[in-house]
C-alpha cells in the first residue's frame, strides 16, 4: 500500500514539475514530460508504474484519456469552423481513411509487419489527439483557421483511430479464424453506434438538467466528472475502445447546446486535464524498458517513422483537401504537424498483447514502433511548430497583446500608444457611442459585450496576453476580472482601483475575485480621464547606461502616472501597487502619462 502511494506521489510530482519546467524554459511541455518520464523510468530506474500499479495501470490511463478527450471535445462548437467545415470534414473522413491505408502499406512493406498487424497499427497511428495538439496550439499561438483544423482533427479522429484498430482486428479474425463469425464484426459496428447514442444522451441530459436548474452550482463539476466516467465505462464494457467515441460525442453535444455554465465546466476540466496529461505521459514513458528504447533505432522502424512524417502525412492532407478553401501555406503546416500521443501508446500496447495471444509474433515490436513515432513526432513538431508557423505567416505576433475593456479617452489613447510600438491591442465595449473614441483614434475595436458567450466567436483572444478592465464602473471591472481569472491568471489581469465616490461599495470585495490593481491605489478612472482633459500626454523614455532609471524617476513630476514598462525582451510590465520594486534596466522603455512641459 505504502509503495503504491509513493509511486502515485512521484507520478504527480514529476508531472507537475515537468509542466513547471516547460513553462520556465519555454520548451514544449510534452517534450519535457517525455524526457522526465524516461529519466525517472528506464534510465535511472526510480519507478516503473506499470509494474508498481499492477492491474490498476490500464484502467487509470483509460479513464484519464476519456476525461481528457471529453475536455477537448467541449471546445468543438460548430460556430468555430464557419467557412472551414469542408476542409475539416474532408480531413477527418477522407484524410483519416487515406492515412490508415497508406500507414498500413508502410507498416507492411517498410517495417516488415504482417498484413493483419499492419492494418491494426495503421488504424492506431492516424490519431493525434488533444493531449499533444492542444498544448502545441497554445504554445505556437496559431491563427484561428489553421488552429481550428488541427484541433478538430485531433479530437474527432482520436476515438476513430482506436475504433478502426478494433474493426481491423475483428475483420482479420473473421477472415483468418474459422471460429469467428461475421456476427462479431456486426457486433462491433452495433456497439460503436450504441456508444455514440449513449454519449449523445448523457450529453443532452447534462445540458438539459443544468439549463433547468436541476443541479446546484456546487455539484455541477462533480456531476459532469462522474457522468463522463459513466459514459466511458458503460460502452467500453460492451466493446473495448468504444468509450472514447461516447465521451467525444458527449462533449460535442454539450458544447453545441450553448448552456450558460459551459465555461465553468471547461475551466474545471482544463485543470484536471493538465494534471492527467502530465501524469499519463510520466506513467507511459517511465514504464518503458531499455530494450524497447533501443529497438526504436532499428533501421526499419526509423525508415517507417520518416515515411510517416515526410510522405504519408503531407500526402493525406494535400489529397483530402483538394477543392477546398484551405490555403497552400495552411496545407503545408497541417501536413507537417501531426504528433501522436497517449491514445496511440495505450491502444497499441493493448493490441500488442491481444495480437501476440492470437499468434501474430511480429506484434512484439508494436510498442517500440509506436513509441518511436510518438517521441520523434512530439520532439520534431513541438520544436518546429512555432518556427514554421511564423515563416508561413500563420502565427500571431510574438509581442504580448493587450485587451482594453472599456472605451474612453484614456484607454484609447493608451491603446494607440502601444499600437504605435507594434504591440497588438484591441478596445472592446458594448456601447457604440463610447467606441467613438477608439474609432477616431484608429485603434482596433470590437462592439460586443466582453462577458457574452458570442464574444468567444466574434473575437480571437489568442494574440492578447493581458486584459485591462478600465471602465468607470468598479463592479463591472471586478466582474470582468473574476470571469476571466481562470483563463488569464491574476498576474495578467488588471483593473482600475475602486473609486470611493463612484457609488459602488466594493471595498470589502475579496482580492481573490478581482484583478491586479493598475498603477496605484489612488489613480482612478476619474483621475486618469481628468488628466487627459488637462492635456497630459503619453511619454516614452528609453532607459540607457547614460540615462538610468533613477534619472528618469528624478525627471518625473509628482502628478505623472507610470503606466507600463516595455522590457528589452519584448515583455510588458504594468505598474501596480503589487510591483513596488519594478526597476528599469538599459534597453527598457517606460511609458507614462505626463505633463507636456516636463522633459
pLDDT average, residue stretch 23-31: 72
Q: Please check the confidence at residue 511 and state whether its pLDDT lies above 80.
A: no
If DSSP codes are grouped into helix, strand and coil, which group holds residue 399? coil
Other Cβ atoms closer than 10 A to 511: 10
Judge whether 427 lies within some domain. yes
Pairing of strands 493-495, 516-517: parallel
- The answer to whether 394 touches 330, Cβ cutoff 8 Å, is yes
- 146 membership: H or E segment, kind and range: helix 144-176
Judge whether 60 lies within some domain. no
Angle of helix 144-176 relative to helix 342-357, nearest 10 degrees, comes to 10
Which of 391, 416, 443 is the last residue in one of the domains? 391
Distance CA 552, CA 598 (A): 11
Residues 322 and 429 in one domain: no
Judge whether 376 lies within some domain. yes
Q: Please check the confidence at residue 425 and state whether its pLDDT lies above 60.
A: yes
Number of Cα atoms under 13 Å in the Cβ half of residue 228 = 30
Q: Which of 181-190, 330-339, 563-572 has the lowest mean pLDDT?
A: 181-190
Which of 391, 424, 451 is the last residue in one of the domains? 391
Q: How many domains does the chain have?
A: 2
Judging by beta carbons within 10 Å of its beta carbon (0-12, 13-18, 19+), is residue 507 exposed, middle or buried? Answer: exposed
Judge whether 103 lies within some domain. yes
Distance CA 273, CA 259 (A): 21
262 band by pLDDT with thresholds 50, 70 and 90: low
If DSSP codes are grouped into helix, strand and coil, which group holds residue 331? helix
What b/e readout covers 171-208, taking b as 16+ CB neighbours within 10 angstroms?
A: bbbeeeeeeeeeeebeebeebbebbbebbbebbeebbe
Judging by beta carbons within 10 Å of its beta carbon (0-12, 13-18, 19+), is residue 315 exposed, middle or buried? Answer: middle
Residue 26: which CATH number? 1.20.1530.20
Residues 351 and 437 in one domain: no
Q: Which DSSP string do the residues of 560-573 spell out, in sequence order?
A: -EEEEEE-TTS-EE
Distance CA 91, CA 105 (A): 19
- 538 membership: H or E segment, kind and range: strand 537-542
Judge whether 63 lies within some domain. no
* Mean pLDDT value across the chain: 81
Judging by beta carbons within 10 Å of its beta carbon (0-12, 13-18, 19+), is residue 17 exposed, middle or buried? Answer: middle
Residues 361 and 226 in one domain: yes
Residues 9 and 91 in one domain: yes
4 band by pLDDT with thresholds 50, 70 and 90: confident
> How far from each other are the two terminal CA atoms of the chain, in whole angstroms?
71
Residues 44 and 146 in one domain: yes
97 band by pLDDT with thresholds 50, 70 and 90: very high
- Choose from 173-182, 267-276, 453-462, 480-489 the range with maximum mean pLDDT: 480-489
pLDDT at 397: 62
- The answer to whether 574 touches 494, Cβ cutoff 8 Å, is yes
Q: Please check the confidence at residue 398 and state whether its pLDDT lies above 60.
A: yes
pLDDT at 307: 94
Distance CA 564, CA 409 (A): 18
Q: Please check the confidence at residue 259 and state whether its pLDDT lies above 80.
A: no
598 band by pLDDT with thresholds 50, 70 and 90: very low
Which of 391, 417, 444 is the last residue in one of the domains? 391
SS3 percent helix, strand, coil of the chain, rounded to 5, is 65, 10, 30
CA 133 to centroid of chain Cα atoms? 7
pLDDT at 475: 83
- The answer to whether 58 touches 279, Cβ cutoff 8 Å, is no
Read off the pLDDT of residues 108-141 as tens digits, 9 standing for 90 and up: 999 888 888 898 889 888 888 666 776 777 677 7
Residue 480: which CATH number? 3.40.50.720
- 574 membership: H or E segment, kind and range: strand 572-574
Residues 458 and 332 in one domain: no
Read off φ and ψ for residue 562, nearest 5 degrees. Answer: -80, 125
Other Cβ atoms closer than 10 A to 215: 17
Residues 94 and 213 in one domain: yes
Residues 372 and 470 in one domain: no
pLDDT average, residue stretch 483-501: 77
Residues 319 and 207 in one domain: yes
Judge whether 59 lies within some domain. no
pLDDT average, residue stretch 314-328: 91
Judge whether 58 lies within some domain. no
Give residue 19's domain range. Answer: 2-50+71-391
If DSSP codes are grouped into helix, strand and coil, which group holds residue 262? helix
Residues 339 and 203 in one domain: yes
Distance CA 67, CA 244 (A): 9
Distance CA 557, CA 535 (A): 14
Biggest CA-to-CA distance, the chain: 95
Q: Is the dihedral of CA 516, 522, 524, 529 positive or negative?
A: negative
pLDDT average, residue stretch 547-572: 85
pLDDT average, residue stretch 508-518: 63
Q: What share of the chain in percent tops pLDDT 70?
A: 85
Q: Which three cell numbers stand for residue 276?
A: 492527467
Residues 207 and 254 in one domain: yes
Residues 414 and 378 in one domain: no
Judge whether 167 lies within some domain. yes
Q: Which of 164-173, 242-251, 282-291 has the lowest mean pLDDT?
A: 164-173
Amino acid at each position: 500500500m505504502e509503495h503504491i502511494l509513493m509511486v502515485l506521489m512521484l507520478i504527480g510530482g514529476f508531472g507537475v514539475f515537468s509542466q513547471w519546467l516547460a513553462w520556465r524554459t519555454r520548451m514544449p511541455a510534452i517534450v519535457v514530460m517525455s524526457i522526465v518520464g524516461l529519466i525517472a523510468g528506464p534510465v535511472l530506474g526510480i519507478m516503473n508504474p506499470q509494474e508498481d500499479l499492477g492491474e490498476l495501470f490500464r484502467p487509470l490511463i483509460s479513464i484519464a484519456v476519456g476525461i481528457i478527450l471529453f475536455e477537448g471535445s467541449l471546445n468543438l462548437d460548430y460556430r468555430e469552423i464557419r467557412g472551414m467545415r469542408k476542409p475539416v470534414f474532408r480531413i477527418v473522413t477522407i484524410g483519416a481513411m487515406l492515412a490508415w491505408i497508406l500507414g498500413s502499406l508502410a507498416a507492411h512493406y517498410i517495417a516488415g509487419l504482417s498484413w493483419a498487424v499492419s492494418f491494426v497499427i495503421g488504424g492506431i497511428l492516424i490519431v493525434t489527439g488533444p493531449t499533444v495538439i492542444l498544448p502545441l496550439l497554445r504554445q505556437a499561438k496559431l491563427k484561428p483557421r489553421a488552429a481550428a483544423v488541427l484541433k478538430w482533427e485531433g479530437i474527432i479522429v482520436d476515438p476513430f483511430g482506436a475504433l478502426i484498430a478494433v474493426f481491423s482486428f475483428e475483420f482479420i479474425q473473421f477472415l483468418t479464424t474459422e471460429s469467428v463469425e461475421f456476427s462479431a464484426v456486426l457486433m462491433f459496428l452495433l456497439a460503436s453506434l450504441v456508444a455514440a447514442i449513449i454519449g449523445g444522451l448523457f450529453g443532452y441530459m447534462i445540458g438539459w438538467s443544468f439549463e433547468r436548474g436541476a443541479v446546484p452550482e456546487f455539484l455541477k463539476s462533480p456531476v459532469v466528472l462522474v457522468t463522463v466516467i459513466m459514459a466511458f465505462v458503460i460502452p467500453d464494457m460492451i466493446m473495448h475502445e468504444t468509450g472514447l467515441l461516447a465521451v467525444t460525442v458527449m462533449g460535442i453535444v454539450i458544447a453545441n447546446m450553448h448552456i450558460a455554465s459551459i465555461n465553468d465546466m471547461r475551466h474545471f476540466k482544463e485543470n484536471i486535464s493538465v494534471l492527467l496529461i502530465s501524469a499519463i505521459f510520466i506513467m507511459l514513458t517511465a514504464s518503458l524498458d531499455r530494450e524497447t528504447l533501443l529497438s526504436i533505432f532499428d533501421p526499419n522502424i526509423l525508415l517507417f517513422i520518416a515515411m510517416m512524417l515526410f510522405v504519408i502525412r503531407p500526402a493525406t492532407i494535400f489529397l483530402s483537401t483538394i477543392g477546398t478553401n484551405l490555403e497552400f501555406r495552411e496545407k503545408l503546416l497541417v501536413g507537417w504537424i501531426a504528433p501522436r500521443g497517449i491514445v496511440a501508446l495505450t491502444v497499441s500496447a493493448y493490441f500488442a498483447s491481444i495480437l501476440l495471444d492470437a499468434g501474430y509474433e511480429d506484434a512484439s515490436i508494436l510498442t517500440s514502433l509506436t513509441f518511436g513515432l510518438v517521441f520523434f513526432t512530439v520532439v520534431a513538431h513541438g520544436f518546429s511548430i512555432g518556427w514554421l508557423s511564423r515563416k508561413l505567416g500563420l502565427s500571431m505576433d510574438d509581442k504580448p497583446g493587450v485587451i482594453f475593456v472599456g472605451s474612453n479617452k484614456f484607454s484609447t489613447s493608451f491603446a494607440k500608444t502601444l499600437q504605435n510600438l507594434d504591440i497588438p491591442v484591441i478596445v472592446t465595449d458594448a456601447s457604440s457611442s463610447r467606441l467613438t473614441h477608439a474609432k477616431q483614434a484608429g485603434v482596433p475595436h470590437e462592439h460586443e459585450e466582453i462577458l457574452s458567450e458570442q464574444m468567444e466567436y466574434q473575437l480571437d483572444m489568442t494574440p492578447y496576453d493581458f486584459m485591462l478592465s478600465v471602465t468607470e464602473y468598479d463592479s463591472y471591472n471586478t466582474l470582468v476580472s473574476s470571469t476571466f481569472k481562470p483563463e488569464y491568471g491574476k498576474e495578467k489581469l488588471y483593473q482600475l482601483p475602486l473609486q470611493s465616490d463612484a457609488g459602488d461599495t466594493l471595498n470589502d470585495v475579496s482580492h481573490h475575485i478581482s484583478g491586479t490593481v493598475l498603477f496605484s491605489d489612488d489613480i482612478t478612472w476619474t483621475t486618469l480621464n481628468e488628466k487627459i482633459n488637462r492635456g497630459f500626454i503619453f511619454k516614452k523614455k528609453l532607459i540607457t547606461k547614460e540615462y538610468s532609471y533613477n534619472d528618469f524617476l528624478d525627471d518625473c513630476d509628482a502628478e505623472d502616472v507610470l503606466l507600463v514598462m516595455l522590457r528589452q525582451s519584448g515583455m510588458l510590465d504594468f505598474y501596480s501597487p503589487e510591483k513596488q520594486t519594478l526597476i528599469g534596466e538599459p534597453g527598457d522603455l517606460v511609458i507614462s502619462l505626463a505633463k507636456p512641459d516636463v522633459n
